[in-house]
Copies of this chain bind each other. A is one copy, B any other.
Amino acid sequence: MRSYLFECIDCRKHYAPDEVEYVCPECAREQQPMQPLKGLLRCIYDYESIARQFDADLIAKREELGFDRWMELLPLESADALPPLITAATPLRPAPKLGDLLGLEELWLKDDTGLPTGSFKDRASALVVACAYERDRETVATASTGNAATALAGQCASMEMESVIFVPESAPMAKLTQIAVYGGKLIPVRGSYDDCFELSLAACERFGWYNRNTAYNPFTVEGKKTAALEIWEQLEFETPDWVIVPTGDGVILAGIEKGFSDLAALGLIERVPRLAAVQAAGCAPIVDAVASGSTTIIPEMKPETVADSIRVGVPRAGHWALQALASTNGVAVAVDDEAILEAIALIGRSSGVFAEPAAAASIAGAQKLAQDGIIAPDEVVVALITGNGLKDVPAAAKAVSFPKPIEATIEGVQDFIDQSAK
């Protein structure tokens, strides 16, 4: 196990795992502040050798339920390093009623709302924590206020490891609570997210902590790719036509592309699915870049959207995201906050899944792409539901209405029923 190389996604140079830790040192030299990261590293495995002993039959027969099901495709020495908090694949739920509403005949929800800390980010954090464990690093640090930091704190807690979370002092208490409950060491910083990002790098250097900053740590993409591997197995080893990905920093998009690319490199699938990146209209730098045909991403300096998990003005994995869209014949689409909120209620009442705003964006995006004829009605579509609606109940409250009280009599109920039937 753990036989892989790093490949820089910008200059394509290869590095042995012990040669570099996070990014391509050459490309990183050109890094500008407040810009997508240069020199992100992609793990490449010895696909030929893996292919000789790895196939769908082997996977189907395995008793392991979680990440350890995919050990050949993970950058780990041993499954023993994996945190116990991730225990199984998340459900891939058929969504026939929601599909009807959207005009899609085969729609699936990859439902990550039940992951231990309530979001897709558990995937990346679990793998990064395992990698830290194998490197004898007892503390993992990151700059984030959101699901990534929460997931890191939770996964570290389950391994009796320490997490250090750099957050802007303005971060709302509600978001910090879950991190604090997991015992994450919160360090509020007088400054912006970018100040936190820089400070986390300096602190990791000084104190020997392992850094989990999203995209910057190459294993964040590897952790996220597990969703693609699960989708493939759950569709009985078929590839969907589309995967719809709520997109902020671009790492989930990169992860989904990477998972299917690995399967293609092993000869297990003939094509990767088309990816659809969905951003919020008030924060859509990747959509803008795709629309202009540019490979340069112009950061959104005033990002505004109700979907806080994709409110990312500077998409750190922006270059990889653009490559993933190009190589999969993908599309990028922006949806406004109204459509996002409507999608929360649409998903909830048609399937019983409660999505946070960023997760609902995925369905708002699918709806738009179906309406515009970009997705055909008979294509197989998987939408990622990346976070639990309980993460942001106030946003969900805007998506629904509450009726007026009735008198406590059966006639009161009758009137209520008659009224609501109108």
Contact = CB atoms under 8 A, between A and B. Distances in A.
Interface in A378-414: 388-391, 393-394, 396-397, 399-410, 412-414
Nearest to A174: B393
B408 A180 contact: no
Interface in A342-378: 344-345, 348-354
Contacts of A178: 354, 389-390, 393, 396
A335 interface: no
Given A350-B157, A390-B118, A187 B406 contact: yes
A185 B400 CA distance: 11
B88 A84 contact: no
A17 interface: no
A259 interface: no
Interface stretch (A39-47, A109-117, A245-253, A325-333): A109-117
This chain's copy number in the assembly: 2
Contact of A84 (B93, B118, B189, B401): B93
Interface residues of A, number: 82
A124 to B, nearest CB: 15
Interface in A83-111: 83-85, 87-88, 91, 93-94, 97
A413 B351 CA distance: 46
A145 interface: no
Contacts of A97: 160
A206 B83 contact: no
Contacts of A414: 206
A257 to B, nearest CB: 27
A394 to B, nearest CB: 8
A195 interface: yes
Contact of A181 (B169, B400, B413): B400
A12 interface: no
Interface string A133-165: 000000000000000000001111110100000
Contacts of A405: 169, 188-190
Nearest to A185: B420
A118 B117 CA distance: 11
A405 B414 CA distance: 56
A176 interface: yes
A58 interface: no
B352 A180 contact: no
Contact of A402 (B83, B176, B391, B412): B176
Contacts of A388: 118, 388, 390
Given A158-B351, A188-B404, 14 more contacts: A113-B116, A154-B352, A157-B350, A177-B400, A178-B354, A178-B396, A182-B348, A182-B349, A183-B348, A183-B349, A189-B406, A195-B408, A203-B410, A207-B417
27 contacts: A83-B352, A87-B91, A88-B88, A116-B352, A153-B352, A154-B348, A154-B354, A156-B352, A158-B352, A174-B393, A177-B393, A181-B349, A181-B389, A181-B399, A182-B352, A183-B345, A185-B420, A186-B402, A188-B406, A189-B406, A189-B412, A191-B408, A199-B412, A202-B413, A203-B410, A206-B410, A388-B388
Interface of A: 83-85, 87-88, 91, 93-94, 97, 113-118, 153-158, 160, 169, 173-174, 176-178, 180-183, 185-191, 195-196, 198-199, 202-203, 206-207, 344-345, 348-354, 388-391, 393-394, 396-397, 399-410, 412-414, 416-417, 420
